[in-house]
Structure 1
């Protein structure tokens, strides 16, 4: 597929991401720009799908992706330069949590990001915790399909989050001070 004539879905995702970025810049003190180094950490599947529209907010050589090596993620990130494959499963798996924490330490030390951005799930936690040590600002975007309750990862990452964003106004009451950026998909 040619990048010069992206399909309608990709154009819509880019439009939504730009709208989200404008909301971030207008409504918050967070103003990411293309020259900032960013770690985009999220589980594969829907979490990664919600991060992908944000790719054009940062220069290709300043983006580092962290996700799980699944067929959908491998295909979606095939043209990306810096991809780190996390260890999964993460649900109730202490050994993989420790492996991902050690990996996060190495990635954060190598990349020295200005921002860490995530939509969850568990892969995000070590990056958010370590962001404090490395001076990175953090943006957590709650997933679009959890409207009536907070995800566990959102609750765990919240203390380490500089900007907490939600995609629907209905999600705002779940998170004091959250910014509604609109849907990413």
Structure 2
């Protein structure tokens, strides 16, 4: 059962821990007015979300943990089916990559905001998700390309 607020755009924001989560938190003012669900790898991050958001803890997995990625994908699929988001947004890494790929399968629009920590080049997840995201952003102007990602500013 979806618990979103009628009439509001449904948004699922997904990030792994550490800097990816910090950057997602910096974007949260842009989510005002949305029915927000958050998914991340640390249960104690629940206190970072707006009071009326829904919070999910997901497995932390990397490309070297194939079994973990399968579990993570299953968790994200269940969240996506429960939330039915209009938009899925992520700042990375593997959890965000999978959330965007699966989100597209259920018809959600997808937004990838590449890590501000990647000054010299795009993150590996960012390089791989670009062609699958509806909006692909970089926070470094010199990394923008005509085919993407695009630069429209930085959150930090």
Please state which band the TM-score falls in when normalised by the shorter chain: 0.7 to 0.9
- What is the aligned partner in structure 2 of residue 170 from structure 1? 142
- What is the aligned partner in structure 1 of residue 37 from structure 2? 64
Q: Once the two structures are superposed, what CA deviation does each residue of 1:100-139 show, in whole Å capped at 9, x if it has no partner?
A: 1001111111111111111100111221111222110111
Whole-angstrom CA distance in 2 between matches of 1:89 and 1:80: 28
**3-state SS of 2:94 partner:** coil
Whole-angstrom CA distance in 1 between matches of 2:141 and 2:32: 30
- What is the aligned partner in structure 2 of residue 132 from structure 1? 104
Alpha-carbon RMSD across the aligned residues, in angstroms, is: 2.2
- Return the TM-score normalized by structure 1: 0.72
Q: Once the two structures are superposed, what CA deviation does each residue of 1:75-111 show, in whole Å capped at 9, x if it has no partner?
A: 4238463111111243511121111100111111111
CA shift at 1:44, angstroms? 1.4
Is 1:99 aligned to residue 71 of structure 2?
yes
CA shift at 1:183, angstroms? 1.5
2:9 to 18, 36, 39: 36
Q: Show structure 2 runs of 5+ residues with no match.
A: 1-6
Greater C-alpha radius of gyration: 1
| 8 Å contact kept, 1:36–1:58 | no
- Return the TM-score normalized by structure 2: 0.85
CA 1:93–1:80: 2 relative to 1, 3 Å: farther
Q: How does 1:152-163 map to 2 (within 5 A)?
A: 152-163=124-135
Q: How does 1:16-27 map to 2 (within 5 A)?
A: none
Aligned residues: 150
Is 1:85 aligned to residue 57 of structure 2?
yes
**3-state SS of 2:116 partner:** coil
Whole-angstrom CA distance in 2 between matches of 1:106 and 1:60: 24
- What is the aligned partner in structure 2 of residue 182 from structure 1? 153
CA 1:36–1:61: 2 relative to 1, 3 Å: closer
